[in-house]
């Protein structure tokens, strides 16, 4: 396929990093290229996380998270804004866990490009080979156009998520502003969800992409609340039966909003978009079938919704709400423990309990509405 064909393929969403890698390997001088990967940068926490990888989960750096400040060579690269070639990763062993892990898995040389949007760092694109000195000037000139395509794939994937988030933010802002489903609740619950997903990644074979999309989509779980009147949403006391039924309708309203957005924005091709749908539609289902609106149970409930449910409820319990004071973490953890196997997926609860220290860190960082 021609280069233009490749680019059209990316724009149409049919070429991903794995396929691009396959095509590059078909070019004789580049056939020994062993890995293409993207890490995304979270400026809020100065964290770098692996995101997409051409080796399909056999990657030594799956579920890898590092503080960018702890990897001086990447900090320098981001500042310079240009590419970097490392002829032998042995020279970089002291630099980071990142380089050590690559070396342990037989990677010897690397070519790294920062992904920038204007002055803002979005992440890094990595190419690796098993031989030292692989990235010669000749090979780099052959690789360069493909590197641009890989960059395009990465940026488009990130842009698609941003577009959805921007659309939802707009929906929120044009609706009345109020309520607990603002800022810090969403910041915290999406991060709790990510902790749980990280904990389940090994046993459930979850990819970094899954973990990242879960994190990015879960703040949209209650988008349907824009259609619920303030008199119910902000009522400082228990809801009566008709009010509760109206409140429950936020799930169906949310599903309709998401479906409409996907249609209007032509987002059906966005990767993992089914996760967004599942989180919105099933985050009030319970493990034992007692939830709403469908009464699904166990594995019938998509994993992302089971994770979001634990993260959402934990944050609701530990926050002040119009109808209640914040619980302590110990009380909220005890509640999760009591409810595992009934309300919640026991594996999700267990994963959350394992990360209590990080939960506190998240609470300290996004502290606006809790325990006050
Ligand atoms: Fe909800
Ligand atoms: Fe929520």
Residue 78 phi, psi (nearest 5):
-65, -40
Q: What is the pTM for the complete model shown? A: 0.76
What is the 185 CA–ligand 2 centroid distance (Å)? 7
Tens-place pLDDT, residues 186-201 = 889 999 999 999 999 9
Write the CA distances from 182 to 176, 277, 314, integer angstroms.
11, 20, 16
Whether 3-157 shares its CATH topology with 175-365 is answered no
**Active site residue ranges:** 225
Looking at all shown ligands, the one closest to residue 293's CA atom is: 1
Angle between helix axes 17-25 and 137-174 (nearest 10 degrees) is 170
What is the 231 CA–ligand 2 centroid distance (Å)? 18
More confident residue, 98 or 22: 22
pLDDT for residue 229: 85
Residues 6+ apart with CB under 8 A from 336: 310, 313, 314, 344, 349, 352, 353
Q: Is 225 helix (H, G, I), strand (E, B) or coil?
A: helix
At the second CATH level, the architecture of 175-365 is Orthogonal Bundle (1.10)
Residue 293's Cβ-count burial label (10 Å; 0-12, 13-18, 19+) is: middle
Band (pLDDT 50/70/90 cuts) for residue 202 is very high
Band (pLDDT 50/70/90 cuts) for residue 240 is very high
pLDDT for residue 262: 77
pLDDT for residue 107: 87
What is the 117 CA–ligand 1 centroid distance (Å)? 34
User: How far is 251 from 369, CA to CA, in rounded Å?
Assistant: 24
Domain boundaries defined on the chain = 3-157, 175-365
More confident residue, 82 or 113: 113
What is the 225 CA–ligand 1 centroid distance (Å)? 8
Q: Is 341 helix (H, G, I), strand (E, B) or coil?
A: coil
At the second CATH level, the architecture of 3-157 is 2-Layer Sandwich (3.30)
Give every strand in the sheet of 84-86, ordered side by side. 65-67, 47-53, 33-42, 120-129, 109-117, 84-86
**Arithmetic mean of pLDDT, 115-131:** 89
pLDDT for residue 181: 54
pLDDT for residue 119: 83
Looking at all shown ligands, the one closest to residue 179's CA atom is: 2
Q: Do β-strands 65-67 and 47-53 pair in parallel, antiparallel, or remain unpaired?
A: antiparallel
Looking at all shown ligands, the one closest to residue 190's CA atom is: 2
């Amino acid at each position: 396929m021609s280069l233009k064909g490749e680019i059209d393929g990316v724009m149409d969403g049919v070429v991903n990093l794995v396929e691009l890698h396959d095509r590059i390997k078909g070019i004789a001088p580049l056939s020994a290229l062993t890995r293409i990967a993207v890490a995304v940068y979270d400026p809020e926490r100065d964290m770098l996380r692996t995101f997409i990888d051409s080796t399909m989960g056999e990657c030594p750096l799956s579920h890898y998270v590092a503080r960018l400040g702890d990897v001086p060579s990447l900090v320098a690269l981001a500042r310079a804004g240009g590419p970097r070639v490392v002829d032998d990763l042995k020279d970089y062993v002291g630099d980071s866990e990142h380089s050590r892990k690559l070396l342990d898995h037989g990677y010897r040389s690397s070519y790294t490009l920062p992904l920038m949007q204007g002055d803002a760092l979005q992440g890094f694109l990595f190419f690796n080979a098993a031989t030292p000195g692989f990235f010669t000037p000749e090979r780099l000139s052959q690789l360069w156009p493909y590197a641009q395509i890989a960059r395009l794939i990465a940026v488009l994937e990130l842009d698609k998520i941003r577009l959805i988030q921007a659309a939802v933010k707009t929906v929120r802002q044009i609706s009345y502003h109020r309520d607990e489903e603002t800022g810090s609740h969403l910041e915290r619950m999406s991060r709790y969800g990510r902790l749980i997903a990280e904990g389940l990644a090994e046993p459930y074979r979850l990819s970094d992409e899954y973990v990242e999309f879960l994190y990015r989509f879960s703040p949209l779980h209650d988008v349907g609340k824009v259609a619920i009147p303030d008199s119910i949403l902000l009522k400082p006391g228990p809801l009566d039966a008709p009010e509760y039924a109206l409140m429950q309708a936020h799930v169906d309203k949310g599903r309709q909003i998401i479906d409409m957005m996907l249609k209007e924005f032509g987002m059906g091709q966005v990767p993992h978009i089914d996760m967004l749908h599942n989180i919105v539609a099933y985050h009030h289902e319970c493990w034992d079938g007692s939830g709403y609106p469908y009464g699904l149970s166990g594995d019938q409930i998509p994993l992302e919704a089971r994770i979001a449910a634990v993260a959402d409820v934990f944050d609701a319990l530990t926050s002040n709400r119009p109808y209640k004071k914040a619980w302590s973490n110990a009380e909220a953890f005890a509640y999760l423990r009591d409810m595992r196997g009934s309300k919640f997926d026991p594996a999700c609860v267990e994963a959350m309990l394992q990360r209590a220290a990080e939960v506190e860190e998240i609470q300290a960082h996004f502290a606006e509405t809790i325990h006050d």
